[in-house]
Structure 1
Amino acid sequence: MARTALVYLGAALAEIGGCYALWMVLRLGRSGWWLLPGLASLALFGALLTLVESSAAGRAFAAYGGVYIAASLGWMWAVEGARPDRWDMAGAALCLAGAAVILLAPRGA
């Protein structure tokens, strides 16, 4: 389970970093050269998700969604300087609880 959490965290940072590169170009007027590391980061994101042990890709992706939401709020705070409010935190907790249900549910073989 710890390995899965690390893979999800790495994937979230790679996806957010890649998307933020596009945000910087299109919304903040930065150089188009930012798209190169952004695309590499998005490719890393996709590769990392293949490392999750799951019988179905959709289930792995669905559980990842909760981690992505929480990591996005962390990025917002750490990189953009916007502190999440209590509603952000409550929403992230709800999403992480949903991800845990998906990941930890007992399933037959």
Structure 2
Amino acid sequence: MPATLAIYAGAALAEIAGCFAFWSWMRKGAGAIWLLPGLLSLAVFAWLLTLAPAEFAGRAYAAYGGVYILASLAWLWSAEGRRPDVWDIAGGAVCLIGAAIILFAPRIAGD
């Protein structure tokens, strides 16, 4: 379980950083040079997600979604200086619970 959380946390950081590089270029006027680390970061994200311990890609992606939402709220606070409000936190918690159900539910082998 700790390895799974580390994979998802690393994937979330890589995806958010890559997307933020594109956001900065398109919306904030940052130079096109931002696209290079953004592309690299998105490639790392995709690679890390392949390491998720799930039989099916769709299930791995669905579980990752909850982690991504929480990580996005942490990014909002740490990188953009906007503290998440109570609704952000409540929504993130619901999503994380849903991700845990998807990822850690007992299943029959091959299901």
TM tier, smaller: over 0.9
Relative to the length of structure 2, the TM-score reads: 0.97
**Could you tell me the percent identity over the aligned residues?**
62
Which runs of at least 4 in structure 1 moved beyond 2 Å after TM superposition? Answer: none
Gaps of 5+ in 2: none
Report whether the alignment pairs 1:53 with 2:59: no
1:72 is displaced (CA, Å) by: 0.2
Q: What is the one-letter code of the residue matched to 2:60?
A: A
Q: What is the one-letter code of the residue matched to 2:76?
A: M
1:104 is displaced (CA, Å) by: 1.3
Report whether the alignment pairs 1:96 with 2:96: yes
2:33 counterpart residue number: 33
Distance 1:8 1:106 in 2: 20
Gaps of 5+ in 1: none
2:15 counterpart residue number: 15
Distance 2:88 2:41 in 1: 25
Relative to the length of structure 1, the TM-score reads: 0.99
CA RMSD of aligned residues (A): 0.4
1:45 is displaced (CA, Å) by: 0.1
2:63 counterpart residue number: 63
